[in-house]
Amino acid sequence: MSPQERLNERRDRLLAAAFQQFGAKGYPATTIDALCADAHVSTRGFYECFSGREAMLAAVHERITTEAMAAVRLAVASADEPVSAGLAAYVHHMTCDERRARIVHVEVARAGHPLQPARRRAVHELAGLITTLAGDRTTLTSPELSRIAIGLVGAVQELLTEWISADPRPAPAEVLTGAQHIFRTSLR
């Protein structure tokens, strides 16, 4: 392998280890040493790929949200009810592997200030899609719809955060039903 291929392969192993550890143990409990041990990478190798845990968490978050948005866009492309289809795709993507929901909706918040720009970008991307999809199906003005779309993303985030921590955990379909009700009521 070329040096760049080795670096990419090492980065992928680290990202897989981060997905597992951040998703199972959480951000505060995951050390660089543990990530390196799981990925079979030296600490030096870690720092050749990432500047620290925050950068690694940001990369994992970016990967998950990119995959989620691809699933949402695919779902809305041919749907009769695109907002509902997109919402269902997002909830399914996050709940079919709880590590995704935990990383995106819990661990990024725990990481605090360094991850807020990545989190805000994801929120605004989802809100922008909601605004676009709902724009001609609502009587709300554009500024009202933009603000409500941000709130709807926050509602879904909180429903998923509650789903992660609930004991017993509700079925993902219950999360989706609640989110759909909030969306229908808000977007009239």
Residue type, 117: P
Q: Where are the alpha helices (DSSP H) in 40-167?
A: 43-49, 53-77, 82-95, 98-102, 108-111, 116-134, 142-165
Backbone angles phi, psi at 83, to 5 degrees: -65, -45
Domain of 166, CATH number, reads 1.10.357.10
User: Which residue in the block uniquely carries the two structure tokens 């709300």?
Assistant: 140
Domain carrying residue 113: 53-186
Calpha distance 30→78 (Å, rounded): 41
**Structural domain includes residue 44:** no
Q: Judging by beta carbons within 10 Å of its beta carbon (0-12, 13-18, 19+), is residue 26 exposed, middle or buried? A: middle
pLDDT tens, residue by residue, 18-30: 999 999 999 999 9
Sign of CA dihedral 52, 58, 59, 61: positive
pTM for this entry:
0.93
**Structural domain includes residue 120:** yes
pLDDT tens, residue by residue, 167-178: 999 999 999 999
pLDDT tens, residue by residue, 122-131: 999 999 999 9
Which pLDDT belongs to residue 136? Answer: 75
> Between these two residues, 140 and 127, which has the higher pLDDT value?
127
Average pLDDT over residues 84-112: 96
**Structural domain includes residue 20:** no
**Structural domain includes residue 134:** yes
**Structural domain includes residue 47:** no
Mean pLDDT of the chain: 95
Which pLDDT belongs to residue 142? Answer: 85
Which pLDDT belongs to residue 137? Answer: 77
User: Which residue in the block uniquely carries the two structure tokens 């509650």?
Assistant: 162
- Measured CA angle at 129 (ends 122, 174), to 5 deg: 80
Calpha distance 133→138 (Å, rounded): 10
Residue 135 has pLDDT above 80, yes or no: no
**Structural domain includes residue 126:** yes
Q: Report the percentage of the chain scoring pLDDT > 90.
A: 90
**Structural domain includes residue 58:** yes
**Structural domain includes residue 3:** no
Q: Mapping DSSP to helix (H, G, I), strand (E, B) and coil, where does residue 97 land?
A: coil
Which pLDDT belongs to residue 188? Answer: 77
Which pLDDT belongs to residue 76? Answer: 95
Which pLDDT belongs to residue 154? Answer: 96
Q: Mapping DSSP to helix (H, G, I), strand (E, B) and coil, where does residue 113 land?
A: helix
pLDDT band at 43 (very low <50, low <70, confident <90, very high): very high
Our count of domains for the chain comes to 1
